[in-house]
Amino acid sequence: MSGDVCKTVAVYTLGCKVNQYESEAILEAFEQRGFIPAAPEDVCDVYVINTCTVTAESDRKARQFIRRAIHRNPNACILVTGCLAQTAPENIAAIAGVDFICGNADKMSVVEAAEELLRKAEKAHETVIHVNSLEGAGFEPMCITRFDRTRAYVKIEDGCESRCTYCIIPEARGKIRSKPIPEVLDEVRGLIAGGCREVVLTGIETASYGKDLHDSSLAELLIAIDRLEGIGRVRLGSLDPSLLKPAFVNAIAPLRSLCPHFHISMQSGSSSVLARMKRKYNADQALAGMQRLREVMPQVQFTTDIIVGFPQETEEEFEQTLDFVKKAGFLMIHVFPYSKRRGTPAAIMSGQVPEDVKRRRTATLIAHAAEIRRDILQRLIDEGEEHTVLFESFENGRAWGHTSNFIEVAIDSDKPLHAQTLPVRLYATDGTRCFAKPTVS
C-alpha cells in the first residue's frame, strides 16, 4: 500500500437496487478523486464491499467476498459498508485484514477513509469502526451521473418503519428519509442530459416517499418528473400494496412517462399469513388496488415477491396464495422459501415449516407462476396490438429490450439497437419472453 495517485478501486455489491445505486455513487466519488475503477475480481488497491443482511446467506456471501479480496491483495485497503456493517460491525471487524467499517448513515465516508489509509501507506493496525446511530439520521447526499445500457436507478427514499415480523431491515436502515423533490429533479435532469431513456425510482420503502417531508408525496414527485423536458420512461421500484388507494391511482393515471408496470411487494396471498407477517394490507385489499390500476391503465402488468413456508403456514393458506396469484395475474413472481433471520419475531415463532415442505411448495408456486406468465404472453400475442420496445442489448443477431409494461422482447437485427425505441408486433413466445417483428422498417 502506498500513497501514490491513480490507485485502482473496486466496489462489490450485494442486495437490493438501493445498494446498487449507492455503490455507483461511491464509485463515481472515487473517480472524482482520481481513482481508476476496476472489477471486483481484479487485483486492486482499494476494495469496498457494500453488504446486505436480508438473509443469513447474504451475510455469508459478504464475509466470503471480504476474505477473497484480502486474499487477492493482502496489502489492499478493505472497506466495508451497508446493512451488515450497520447491524453487526463487530463480526466484520473479527475478519483480519478489514481496515474500515461504516454503516448506512454515511456510506460516502469510505472515500475519505480510503484516501487516509493510502496517505499512511500501510494497513490499519486495528479496524476502524465508524458506525453511527440511524436515530435522527437524514437522507445522505449522493448522486449518480451515469448508467448501464439505457436505464438508471435513482434512490429517492431510505429507511423503513413497517416492522414486519420476518425482516431485519428497519434495524439496518432506520426511519424513513426522503430525498427532496428539487434534488431528485436535478439528478434526473442530469441523467436525461446523459442519454438515459428510463429512470427507475427506488427506495427501501418507496411507497413511503415524502412522509418525513410533510409537503411531498410519491404522487407529487411523479407529477414533477413527468413535467421534465426530455423525460423518457419512469418506472417505480417495489411498492407496498397499501399505496394503491384511489387518491394515488387517480393522481398517477394521466402521467405520460410512468410505465404501466408495478412490482407489488405481496409476500403472501393468504390474509392470515399476511397478518402474522404484520403487513399493512390483506389479500382482498391488494387485489382491489390492482384492479383500480387496471381500470385506468389497461396495459398494466404486475410482478411480485412471495415468501413460501412462513411459520405456521398451512396447506390451506398455501392454496390461498396459489389462488391469489392466479386472480392477480402476475407477469412474474420471485419465490423465496422462508429462512429464519436472527433477531426477528418470526425466527422464534412456533410452527416452523419443515424444509422439505418449503421446497415442495416453492416448486409448486414457481410452476404455477410460469403457467400464468405463459398465458399472459400468449394473450398479448393473440390480441395483436402494437407495442413499443426500448432496446437494451444485442446478442446472436437479436436485439433485446422491454415494453413499458415489462414484457421482454427480441427482434431479429443485424446491428445493435441500443437505446432505440421501435413499434413491434408480437408473434411468438417461449413462455418467458416474446419474439416480435418491427411494424415499421
DSSP string, 390-416: EEEEEETTEEEEEETT--EEEEE-SS-
Neighbours of 259 (CB within 10 A): 24
Closest by CA position to 278, among listed 134, 104, 160: 160
Q: Give the model's pLDDT for residue 122.
A: 81
Position 68 pLDDT exceeds 70: yes
Query: Mean pLDDT score of the chain, rounded to an integer?
Result: 95
Sorted by where each begins, the domain ranges of the chain are 8-130, 385-438
pLDDT of residue 350: 97
Percentage of the residues of the chain whose pLDDT score is greater than 70: 99
Question: Is the pLDDT score of 90 beyond 80?
Answer: yes
Closest CA to 240 of 198, 274, 216: 274
Q: Is the predicted pLDDT of residue 60 greater than 80, yes or no?
A: yes
Sheet holding 128-130, edge to edge: 36-37, 8-13, 46-51, 77-82, 100-102, 128-130
Give the type of residue at 89: P
Task: Report how many helices (DSSP H) and strands (DSSP E) the chain contains, helices first.
Answer: 13, 18
Pairing verdict, β 408-412 and 398-403:
antiparallel
Round to whole Å and give the CA distance between 174 and 160: 6
Reading the block at residue 373, the C-alpha cell is: 406468465
Tens-place pLDDT, residues 98-118 = 999 999 999 999 999 999 999
Residue 441 has a pLDDT of 57
As beta bridge partners, residue 388 has 423
- CA–CA gap between residue 324 and residue 110 (Å, rounded): 45
Q: What is the pLDDT of residue 3?
A: 47
268-327 confidence digits (pLDDT tens): 999 999 999 999 999 999 999 999 999 999 999 999 999 999 999 999 999 999 999 999
| Grid cell listed for 36 | 481508476
What pLDDT score was predicted for residue 175? 95
Model confidence over 229-281: pLDDT tens digits? Answer: 999 999 999 999 999 999 999 999 999 999 999 999 999 999 999 999 999 99
138: number of Cβ within 10 Å? 10
Beta strands (DSSP E) in 325-430 are 332-337, 386-395, 398-403, 408-412, 421-429
Q: How confident is the model at residue 181 (pLDDT cuts 50, 70, 90)?
A: very high
End-to-end CA distance of the chain: 57
At residue 362, the pLDDT reads 98
147 has pLDDT over 90:
no
Q: pLDDT tens across 349-379, in order?
A: 999 999 999 999 999 999 999 999 999 999 9
Could you tell me if 303 and 261 are in contact, meaning their C-beta atoms sit under 8 angstroms apart?
yes
CA dist., res. 65 & res. 57, Å (int): 12
Nearest to 440 by CA among 403, 391, 387, 397: 387
Rounded Cα distance, 9 and 69, in Å: 11
Per-residue pLDDT, averaged over 29-49, amounts to 95
Query: In the numeric block, which cell numbers belong to residue 179?
Result: 430525498
- Closest by Cα among 292, 154, 302, 303 to 228: 154
Kindly write down the DSSP assignment for every residue of 165-205, as one continuous string: TT--HHHHH-S-EE--HHHHHHHHHHHHHTT--EEEEEETT
HSE, side-chain direction, 13 A CA sphere, residue 222: 26
Nearest to 401 by CA among 412, 389, 419: 389
Residues ≥6 apart with Cβ < 8 Å to 23: 11, 13, 48, 50
pLDDT-derived band at 2, boundaries 50, 70, 90: very low
pLDDT at 218: 97
Q: What is the CATH number of domain 8-130?
A: 3.40.50.2300
Residue 215's pLDDT band, with cuts at 50, 70 and 90, is confident
Dist CA 306 CA 95 (whole Å): 34
pLDDT at res. 342: 87
Question: Residue 17 and residue 22: Cα distance in Å, rounded?
Answer: 9
| Bridge partners, 437 (sequence order) | 425
- CATH of 385-438 among 3.40.50.10320, 2.40.50.140, 1.10.3720.10, 4.10.520.10: 2.40.50.140
